[in-house]
Structure 1
Amino acid sequence: MMNGIRQSPPDYFPTEYWHSLEDGRIQCDVCPRACKLREGQQGLCFVRARHQDQIVLTSYGRSSGFCIDPIEKKPLNHFLPGTPVLSFGTAGCNLACKFCQNWDMSKSREMDTLADQAVPGQLAQAALATGCRSLAFTYNDPVIFLEYARDVALAAREQGIRSVAVSAGYICEAPREAFFQYMDAANIDLKAFTESFYKKICGGSLQPVLETLKYLKHETEVWFEITTLLIPGENDSDHELNSMCEWIVEHLGVDVPIHFSAFHPDWKMMEHSHTPADTLTRARNIAIKKGIRYAYTGNVHDSQGGSTWCHNCGQLLIERDWYQMGVWNLKSGCCNRCGEKQAGVFEELPGDWGSKRIPVRMKS
């Protein structure tokens, strides 16, 4: 140990959120899946397992890879625009989305996937050395490696590096509070707005995700944005999009940005077609009509739908062409024409990272 932080990854990291059952099994209490395990069994997430009569994390300090991305790729358009973020994930996931676009990592049940190692202090130092303003837990859902993410976030905070969670928000109340208290920003994947979609396609439930969104808005200072991947014929109807946007305005307000992203056939949904660009534009227009001030299109070339506009006077505030930024018309977080305050975490000038994506290899 050094400064209270481990210097080498443990094989089994003890966890807190579980309890014993009368039949001898142990229930994991991190997410609503509530996996009930006998000795030697793993949860559906793969990385939380029963070992010596407790639930342990088997991926602490291990990763499927590290990369420097633009923060807009998370996607976060209102959190330190233009800056680089050190991104990494582990293996496994607590949902079973048939359309998963990171399935090689999130669905992996092979520890060989976790070929790279980095304890929290190493990650914080790497983010600092590479000029990253933040560090993102992404590629697979960080709630399943809560303890590792927490320790990385603590180490990052000591270096002045902020932490970002890219998550589906499928987590129980107590661990939710423990996890997000260490996060500075988040992007929550709201996969659809029906229980049937979550059950049939994701193997989960919508309601816990909605509870996470309300928690973030009303009980934390975490800046967060929402992403919905639109799949033709599954979650892209006008009725569902209207209902979702109405719920967002009523329960979260008008300032939470939402990103409508394009689906491409992957994993167990290869038979579905790509999302037409017109579908994303339609969804964005519905969101704006319902009162959401910041609605974006994603995974398509759409400068209009990818840029930020003043909700008061209509001026172009932040121009984006894919992840490359152009015009910047913010001053102290306000529109420089009408003076309207814009929601987000902005600095006086944007970063200049652009669209670069650079793999990082940790020193052993």
Structure 2
Amino acid sequence: MTDRASLTDTVPGRYWHHLDDGRIQCDVCPRFCKLNDGQRGLCFVRARQGDQMVLTTWGRSSGFCIDPIEKKPLNHFLPGTPILSFGTAGCNLTCKFCQNYEISKAREMDKLSSLATPEMIAKTAKAHGCSAVAFTYNDPVIFLEYAVDVAIACREMGLRTVAVTAGYIGDKARAEFFRHMDAANVDLKGFTDRFYHQLCSAHLDDVLETLKYLRHETGVWMELTNLVIPGENDGDAEFHEMTQWVHNELGPDVPMHFSAFHPDWKMMDTPRTPPETLVRARKIAMDNGMRYAYVGNVHDKTHSSTFCHGCGDILIGRDWYQLSDWNLDAHGACRSCGTHCAGVFQAKPGTWGPKRQPVRLMASN
């Protein structure tokens, strides 16, 4: 795989078809935007130009940082290691609570962002000792062609790739996109269609189809995040229904993160999530058979750490992004009782810690 010869930020898009009325329908996500010439989809980065669909942000990024992999959040995928994180502009959802809205709602980001070819990204991640590259900040499904090219370049250099996504993607595009990913954290934003429709302009069922596909038809390591918003998705009945569905449809080994909301974008008047709500959600998940459930965006070692479901001993001590205890053997099993812990682990944990380090890309030559 080589860089685009022209280094242009507009490249032909995939997953679209012509309609009888002369419009073109984008099939990347279930929104199925239908466009006349010159129009853009709701995501803003996929557009019709002439007789084809194009991606307008190939090779452009909103910036790069090295993060702890726990920030994605991923607690069972190469713990303690650094990951190079980046996003582009735009999004195919309209979440009123978006905590990256400066990026996801950007309309001129492609004019302001840095040139970032796939080889430059992979080379930079490798040089800084990163375990993987994460597509994050905005949803990578909307820049599928670019994400796939970056993933190919990363694999050629022995790096893994992580998608941080809402999982709102069409079935055909889904297969190609996740074929190139090693891990994914999927935002399961709520468990009612009312929540998805009113706050995100989307539908729950499409996300659930992605989750089932990932779990049963791929080898992608998956973890789930539920941003708990007071008055919107924080009821015990919803926590019960969600965690029972995850247990029954995806299995008990899928880690679930219940993360604290802070006021942002169009929900500035909504209060922060009380820590006790997160603890309650975690308990409900565990009571419903989930083996790994965590609180997020708060300091709480007890409810952020990983415990053995066999003997109850602590396996990975964790306070937000800082690791402490490590009681896994070289094969990912509990040193106390030998019970296997689900995940992708190295023989020893990484030592990156909680720091966040902005970086500049290295030249591709």
TM-score by length of 1: 0.98
The structure 1 segments of at least 4 consecutive aligned residues displaced by more than 4 Å after TM superposition are none
Letter in 1 for 2:22: G
Question: Is the 8 Å Cα contact of residues 60 and 110 (structure 2) preserved in structure 1?
Answer: no
Say which SS state the counterpart of residue 165 (structure 1) adopts: strand
Distance 2:340 2:107 in 1: 47
Say which SS state the counterpart of residue 334 (structure 1) adopts: coil
Distance 1:161 1:207, change over 3 A: same
Distance 1:93 1:250 in 2: 30
State the shift of 1:305 in Å.
1.1
Distance 1:286 1:114 in 2: 45
Distance 2:155 2:163 in 1: 14
Distance 2:91 2:2 in 1: 28
Question: Pairwise mapping of residues 29-48 of structure 1 onto structure 2 (< 5 A)?
Answer: 29-48=27-46
State the shift of 1:8 in Å.
5.3
Distance 1:7 1:349 in 2: 41
Query: Alpha-carbon deviations, 1:94-137, whole Å to 9, x = none?
Result: 00000000000001111356411111011110110000010000
Distance 1:113 1:298 in 2: 34
Distance 1:219 1:35 in 2: 27
Tell me how many residue pairs correspond in the alignment.
Answer: 362
Letter in 2 for 1:317: L
Gaps of 5+ in 1: none
Aligned to 1:159: 157
Say which SS state the counterpart of residue 356 (structure 1) adopts: coil
Distance 1:134 1:107, change over 3 A: same
Aligned to 1:354: 353
Note if 1:255 corresponds to 2:253.
yes
Letter in 1 for 2:346: E
Query: Alpha-carbon deviations, 1:1-57, whole Å to 9, x = none?
Result: xx5332653232101200111111101000010111111111000100001211100
State the shift of 1:233 in Å.
0.8
Letter in 1 for 2:170: C
Query: Alpha-carbon deviations, 1:65-88, whole Å to 9, x = none?
Result: 000000000000000000000000
Note if 1:335 corresponds to 2:343.
no
Query: Alpha-carbon deviations, 1:216-235, whole Å to 9, x = none?
Result: 00000000100000000100
Say which SS state the counterpart of residue 262 (structure 2) adopts: coil
TM-score by length of 2: 0.98
Aligned to 1:194: 192
State the shift of 1:361 in Å.
1.2
Give the one of 187, 204, 207 matched to 1:206.
Answer: 204
Aligned to 2:296: 298
Aligned to 2:55: 57
Say which SS state the counterpart of residue 222 (structure 2) adopts: strand
Gaps of 5+ in 2: none
Aligned to 1:275: 273
Letter in 2 for 1:37: L
Distance 1:164 1:114, change over 3 A: farther
Distance 1:313 1:7 in 2: 56
Give the one of 94, 107, 110 matched to 2:105.
Answer: 107
Query: Alpha-carbon deviations, 1:226-261, whole Å to 9, x = none?
Result: 000000010010000000001001100000000000
Letter in 2 for 1:109: R
Question: Is the 8 Å Cα contact of residues 9 and 118 (structure 1) preserved in structure 2?
Answer: no
